A and B are shown apart, each in its own frame.
Chain A
């Protein structure tokens, strides 16, 4: 065993895969210790908040204000409001109002606004312009006027008795708060999802659940495949025929189709994460059984097995002592592949809406499912699905790396 591990770590592929996998695993374990929020808590009212730092506005007003005289503050403020669409609309109006097109530069914010303020007149009728368009320009004008003003804004509160507004304080354009002095700041590194849940926290919880599903499914599949493969390969004869018949039945029906049918017939309310894992395990042992069987068939006529027979050992003893150790490295590789394909199978099922029921735990597949239902991929809310894809890919990638690493070490034909 020690020898086995030492050999494995001699392969750079294995080490790289192991490091990636260990980082994922550590994150899954350590993150919930630091951020203890429940992963499925709905914090955002609204869907798909962009990733970023969310600063509480109310607290910012109450926090100490500091005056910073920054020369580009006004320009930045205007630029943030004046998007590309607005600039083009302004240009369109100006050109229609008779200003030569060459003189209008949408990139030069200051001059553009200057031209606009000097020429715009809501009373002017531009031929061919719809009413809706005219109203748009009026709204644009109002927001730009507010933007150009240099005055601050008043903070007022209602007097409890008279119900009149009383000014409490003013905020000028050069007032700043230090984010560290604002008590409520929330970093949403990956924004929120369609339900208003923190995607990062959810993603890490989902990774944990998906890994568990993968492990349970992989261990079940490998165990079934290993036992059937060992027995059928070693005992041979009628036993082999029966087992291979069952195995062939399973091969003819693609396991994923079987998985879909079983998941569907279980029904939504009985489909917990564990159930799904067990179903995946019970439908994906076939190739492990075949692979183990063929390994055993090539081993059972070896002289060391013959010697063990001549030493009077029982079939069970021979399988456990003279066959199993020889295929142990192979079984570990099969297990790794089964785990990663278990994770992928869960994702596939969930995308089809046949994964674990949605109320209790997140899984990577469910996150994909939710993102797709709410059309995140069409609406461009990348943070709701892209990190999930990356996580799935990283898990599969790291496990395949470990596998090729093990293969290089233990499969003499591939060495060098």
Chain B
């Protein structure tokens, strides 16, 4: 729930992204405003192509913005140099939609995790200490580091890869985590585990979680506030209860109707 006493950690005003020029222009994100509070779980919900990933990439500073400003911890975000970017990325991290394309296929799992330790300034630590950290991180997501060492990410299953991503975040301990449909490409069985681990991790390191999904049931289940996105615009926003139990927009209603029965039953039992 949006707690006004809490600090705003990420804020956007008139944020816009336009791809292409001339007639082939796509307005992927269209003048969106938002305020994400520290420690909150925020869900951004929208159907495929509504601009969720584009918004996430702008927030991460991976692509430029066409218009609008982003404020991080009250100040206008400044990522003009490589050094400032690196500093920013210590605070904000991401888990991507497709685990199969998220890893460099030429790098071993060890190097993925070591990168995170180095990012946190642990470059000079003795290897034994690094090993301990990596083992701890893998243990957190129920993976055995001894079995993963010297393996390549593509030797893992989709679920395992996504768990490794969470292990990465465990090591990095960022203030904000953007999870872009982290469960959309993996089987239903692993899905619950991944979600569970994400929530656990959030409690553990007390971060703001921005959860991107097209599944409004899931959003209701996990989040404090919900933003509904339709073709680049936030059509509705508010606390999860407000938006999902009393939708004002037909689009939101449609998203709710698309949710499979199983969630509804689950929802009813908890309401």
- A-side residues, CB < 8 A to B, are 301-304, 306-315, 321-322, 325-326
Contacts and interface: CB of A to CB of B under 8 A. Distances in A.
A311 B62 contact: no
A310 B104 contact: no
B269 interface: no
A311 B94 CA distance: 10
Contacts of B101: 302-304
Nearest to A324: B106
A322 B104 contact: yes
B62 A306 contact: yes
Interface in B34-87: 57, 60, 62-63, 82, 85-86
B92 to A, nearest CB: 8
Given A303-B101, A304-B102, A321-B107, A310 B82 contact: no
B82 A315 contact: yes
Contact of B103 (A307, A312, A321): A307
B96 A303 contact: yes
Q: How large is the interface on B (under 10, 10 to 19, 20 to 34, 35 or more residues)?
A: 20 to 34
A303 to B, nearest CB: 4
Contacts of B104: 304, 307-308, 321-322, 325
Given A321-B104, A321-B107, A312 B86 contact: yes
B107 A309 contact: no
A325 B152 CA distance: 15
Task: Point out which of B57, B96, B105 has the most chain A C-beta atoms below 10 A from its C-beta.
Answer: B96
Given A304-B102, A306-B57, A311-B115, 20 more contacts: A301-B63, A302-B101, A303-B97, A303-B101, A304-B101, A304-B105, A306-B60, A306-B94, A306-B96, A307-B96, A309-B85, A310-B93, A310-B94, A312-B89, A312-B115, A314-B82, A315-B82, A321-B106, A325-B104, A326-B106
28 contacts: A301-B63, A302-B101, A303-B98, A303-B101, A303-B102, A304-B104, A306-B57, A306-B60, A306-B94, A307-B102, A307-B103, A308-B104, A309-B62, A309-B85, A309-B89, A310-B60, A310-B89, A310-B93, A311-B89, A311-B119, A312-B86, A312-B89, A312-B119, A313-B115, A314-B82, A321-B107, A325-B104, A326-B106
B116 interface: yes
Nearest to B89: A310
Contacts of B96: 303, 306-307
B185 to A, nearest CB: 11
Contacts of A321: 104, 106-107
Contacts of B116: 311
Contacts of B85: 309
A140 B116 CA distance: 98
B73 to A, nearest CB: 18
Contacts of B60: 306, 310
A44 B106 CA distance: 59
Q: Nearest 7 A-B pairs (CB), nearest first? A: A311-B115, A325-B106, A312-B86, A303-B96, A303-B102, A304-B104, A312-B119
A319 to B, nearest CB: 12
B54 to A, nearest CB: 11
A67 B115 CA distance: 89
A311 B90 CA distance: 8
A312 B101 CA distance: 19
Contacts of A311: 89, 115-116, 119
Nearest to B104: A304
A304 B62 contact: no
Interface in B88-131: 89-90, 93-94, 96-98, 101-107, 115-116, 118-119
Contacts of B98: 303
Contacts of A325: 104, 106
B157 to A, nearest CB: 18
Q: Which of B86, B105, B118 has most chain A Cβ within 10 Å?
A: B86
A23 to B, nearest CB: 34
Contacts of A312: 86, 89-90, 115, 118-119
A207 B245 CA distance: 80
A303 B57 CA distance: 10
A4 to B, nearest CB: 11
Nearest to B95: A307
Nearest to A311: B115
Contacts of B62: 306, 309-310
Contacts of A306: 57, 60, 62, 94, 96
A309 B102 CA distance: 12
Contacts of B106: 321, 325-326
Nearest to A237: B64
A402 B154 CA distance: 28
Contacts of A313: 115
Nearest to A308: B104
A304 B101 CA distance: 6
Contacts of A302: 101
A304 B89 contact: no
A210 to B, nearest CB: 35
B180 to A, nearest CB: 9
A303, A307, A310, A315 pick with most chain B CB within 10 angstroms: A310
